[in-house]
A = this chain, B = another copy of it.
Amino acid sequence: MTDFNTLSVVELNDLKANLQEKYEEYKSKRLSLNMARGKPCPEQLDLSMGMLDTIKSDSSLISQEGIDCRNYGGIDGLVEAKELLAPLLEVSTDEIIIGGNSSLNMMHDTIFRAMFKGVPGGDQPWGHYPKIKFLCPSPGYDRHFSLCEFFGIEMIIVDMLKDGPNMDQVEQLVSEDETIKGIWCVPKYSNPEGVTYSDEVVDRLAKMETKAKDFRIFWDNAYAVHHLTDKPDQLKNILHACKEAGHPNRPFLFGSTSKISFPGSGVAVMGSSKENIQHTKKQLSAQTIGPDKINQLRHVLFFKDFEGLKDHMKKQADIIKPKFDKVLELFDSELEGKHIATWSKPNGGYFISLNTLDGTAKDIVALAAEAGVTLTGAGATFPYRKDPRDRNIRIAPTFPSLEELELAIQVLCVCIQLVSVEKLLKIKEVC
């Protein structure tokens, strides 16, 4: 296909008129398509409906250890829930805490406790510093960045490379600033680029010397078993690596069944060293009566074991893989060779990351919205919602139907081309 950069002003203007016509046609259809959030589609959720039959009025609700799951107690979860979900984080059952339905909530609470009480190895609570900072490999997950904003934690952008964060930058930064207390990582099928960290990156994160004695890696392994191929990416175990490097307390691992069972009624988990876990459990007992044990039991009875859970994820992949394929197919046919966009081809996770020409993402998202196609806000994948190059757009293909998705991506491709042509015309004007 023709490289847009080689077109003359006349050709670009012709193209623009043609694209505008197409755009108006779509707009006249009064579409309402939403690709903003990484939400499972109803068919994915249907796969877990059997879970709702696992516990009935005549079921025994006594746990393996003899606990009445209906009553109070069990601040860190049932043993059987730990056995089911410890393999998700690749930790042992004494290195895990079972939470409520939201891993985001567990991350929030972990930061809150660190701000308020400190973590093992620290001299004082993080909140006692005039300002603390987190490294934010970007593009990244908007809700991680919102948490930092909520807590007034300064965010420092680190570039994402093909195999994880730019470790030269990371090592340099953490070695010289005691107030850098953490780094956000979505280490497998990262949000939004689908990058899985290489062994080397994991090792360097584990080994690096940090000026802060209480530095923590927030390892949000949200897509641990969310593969789109039969040859899934392999991720090195961060807790093992940190133990070997002599920094056992460095990582906090998070995960959940939100995108495995039900997003609103899943089970969240956190993993860490025994010392961190003990420290956390003690604080938890002041905070809450403990998470919903009946729901933990439902998950145990439905998935049976981790193998069962992994099998379930294959069925999920069967539903969403065609959607990812459709997006990639349309990008190929509509955008390939035009030199106006590049995009990720992930082996798992929930997103396709699209980079357009510098300075065009906001305009593209706004134009698509005008035609009824809602995308994640441009900039959302960067701290403070400011994409320094204004080029990254996150595509969430899972929720819409294949038909809706096809239409939405067609609209998007027209918007990308139209805004790109306008951008190129402006550049030509200046020259």
Contact = CB atoms under 8 A, between A and B. Distances in A.
Contact of A287 (B58, B69, B108): B108
Contacts of A70: 45, 48, 262-265
Interface residues of A, number: 55
Interface string A95-120: 00000111011001000100110000
Given A101-B100, A258-B289, A286-B108, A45 B59 contact: no
B105 A71 contact: no
A286 B100 contact: no
A102 B53 contact: no
Nearest to A283: B150
Interface string A287-316: 111111111000000000000000000000
Given A71-B263, A112-B112, A293-B264, A288 B57 contact: no
Contacts of A68: 42, 45
Contact of A105 (B57, B112, B265, B287): B287
A288 B105 contact: yes
A39 B51 CA distance: 28
Given A108-B286, A264-B71, A52 B45 contact: no
A102 B264 contact: no
A55 interface: yes
A301 to B, nearest CB: 12
A42 B45 CA distance: 33
A50 interface: yes
Quick one: which of A108, A146, A289, A294 has the most chain B CB within 10 A? A289
Given A56-B52, A146-B286, A264-B293, A72 B37 contact: yes
Interface in A130-163: 143, 146-147, 149-151
A74 interface: yes
A9 interface: no
A406 to B, nearest CB: 22
Interface in A35-90: 37, 39-40, 42, 45, 48-53, 55-59, 68-74
A264 B286 contact: no
Contact of A289 (B48, B73, B264): B264
In this complex, which of A71, A105, A283, A286 has the most chain B Cβ atoms within 10 angstroms of its Cβ?
A71
B149 A40 contact: no
Contacts of A108: 286-288
A168 B151 CA distance: 39
Contact of A40 (B58, B71, B100, B102): B71
B264 A39 contact: no
A52 B50 CA distance: 14
A52 B55 CA distance: 7
A288 B150 contact: no
List the 3 closest pairs (A to B, CB-CB), nearest first: A150-B286, A49-B57, A105-B288
Given A74-B264, A104-B288, A265-B293, 19 more contacts: A37-B72, A42-B68, A45-B68, A45-B71, A50-B57, A52-B59, A53-B57, A70-B263, A72-B258, A72-B264, A100-B100, A105-B288, A105-B289, A108-B288, A116-B151, A258-B289, A264-B293, A265-B294, A295-B295
